Amino acid sequence: MKIPSVNTRHLLKVTDFSSEEIINLFSLAQSLKKAQKKGKKHHLLKGKVLGMIFEKSSTRTRVSFETGIYHLGGTGLFLGKNDLQIGRGEPISDTAAVLSRYLDGIMIRTFEHSKAEDFAKYGSIPVINGLTDDYHPCQALTDYFTMFEKLSKFKGTKLAYIGDGNNMAHSLMLCGAMLGVSVSIASPADYAPNKEITDEARSIAARNGSEIVITESIDEAAKNADVLYTDVWASMGQEDEAEKRAKSFDGYCISMDLIKRNAPEAYVMHCLPAHRGEEITAEVLDSDHSIIFDEAENRLHVQKAIMTVLMNSR
């Protein structure tokens, strides 16, 4: 199995890879997926150890990374927020330096994006962003891998995201722009995506023949979309805003009516966990439009490819 090379040591956001590297990564993920389905061993990281730092809890991120490194012949070491000395005053620079002497790679799921950047800056091993407040690159890469499985193309396609202009919206815009996919984001004005990241995505999209649209109208965003996408209204760490957000996002829901009005052939995605009846109806989530569980499975295969290309050279 050929392992593609990349000109980056870390994956902190999707733009750390080039467009060509993303396509090559998807090819590797497809090969790894086929190998697993056929029961073929693919120990491309035999003897390697991945440290998994979780300051935010997770179902899919932990299970997919831990299972993935196992499939690749390595070991995953779970490090919860109470397992490290960072919370007791040890600087990230010291922690990163020490962990680099023990591990072959770090996956971090945290709040401030600067923490992931600091681990990459002060450590000497690859760092993979498993989620920060600003970006969720592993999920976005998985989403476009899944989209390609269903549509067999990127150019000329459209993804519509409905909901909070959060880390998912940011990563979907950037990755879509790199692949030539047009991305429309529908959010209340006070919850629109970060302007600087939006401008970056628009600049990339202009070079690749696609566009980035920001609107408050869910119908405008969803019109003629190939994929409809949503996320929870209040992410982890925003629990105290849940009531306020519920009022602001009222109506920002992927329903069967929305699909019928604007994109009757569209696939539907959600990064999960889903709040049925809020950002998506149960009818849609359980319908033939939904590829949500295919998407969830593909986290495993895409992240295996990410670990392989970043950790193989160490």
212 three-state secondary structure: strand
3-class SS of residue 235: coil
Active site residues: 109, 136, 139, 231, 271, 299
Contact status, residue 308 vs residue 43, Cβ threshold 8 Å? no
Q: Residue 176 is inside which H or E element, if any?
A: helix 167-179
Q: Are 230 and 185 in contact (CB under 8 A)?
A: no
Region of 171 on the Ramachandran plot (φ > 0 left; ψ -120 to 50 alpha; else beta): alpha
Is residue 156 within 8 Å of residue 51, measured between CB atoms?
no
CB atoms inside a 10 Å sphere around CB 98: 14
Question: Nearest-5° angle of CA 80, CA 61, CA 254?
Answer: 130
DSSP-based helix, strand, coil % in the chain, nearest 5: 45, 15, 35
On whether the CB atoms of residues 255 and 285 are closer than 8 A, the answer is no
- Say if residues 140 and 168 touch (Cβ distance below 8 Å): yes
Can you read off the two tokens belonging to residue 107?
Answer: 């996956």
DSSP 234: S
Residue 193, preceding peptide bond in cis (omega within 30° of 0) = no
The residues with which 270 forms a beta bridge, in sequence order, are 230
